[in-house]
Homo-oligomer: A and B are copies of this chain.
Amino acid sequence: METDAPILLATVSFLSALQMARLARRVGLCRLAHNIQPPSVTGPPEFQRIFRAHQNCVECYPLFLVTLWTGGMFFNEATAAVGGLVYMAARQIYFEGYIKSGEERLLGFYLTLGVFATMTLLTMIGLLRGILLKYFHIHL
């Protein structure tokens, strides 16, 4: 094991993968409850909503991982890890809201956008600082 490896980023990544697996499992359980046989992905509105809620999380997930790791390596590991936990909370709120109604997904959606915007800004600062240091020898 590498002791200098970014264990906070690894731990948050791993926890977020567990969260994604749990969300996928809930879609599967909803499938069973409504007796929707694969490969069908159509069903009552409840199923459509949970299915889309999960799909949206699937679409966001690689973007989250990239932001978490680039921000964590070039801005600050602990800050990025905390951002990752807030992201996970925002996604959970989004998912639980979307299950209730399309309208109630919006709170978690805007929270997700807010976390992404913050992490994006910090990552930009970190990358800019890193590029200036490595290629232009300018230390900010």
Contacts and interface: CB of A to CB of B under 8 A. Distances in A.
Report whether over half of chain A's contact residues are helix, strand or loop; otherwise say mixed: helix
A5 B58 contact: no
Interface residues of A, number: 54
Interface in A2-39: 2-3, 5, 7, 10-11, 13-14, 16-18, 20-21, 24, 37-39
A24 B2 CA distance: 35
Contacts of A82: none
Contacts of A53: 39
- The 7 A-B residue pairs whose C-beta atoms are closest, nearest first, are A39-B52, A17-B66, A39-B48, A10-B70, A17-B63, A14-B70, A39-B49
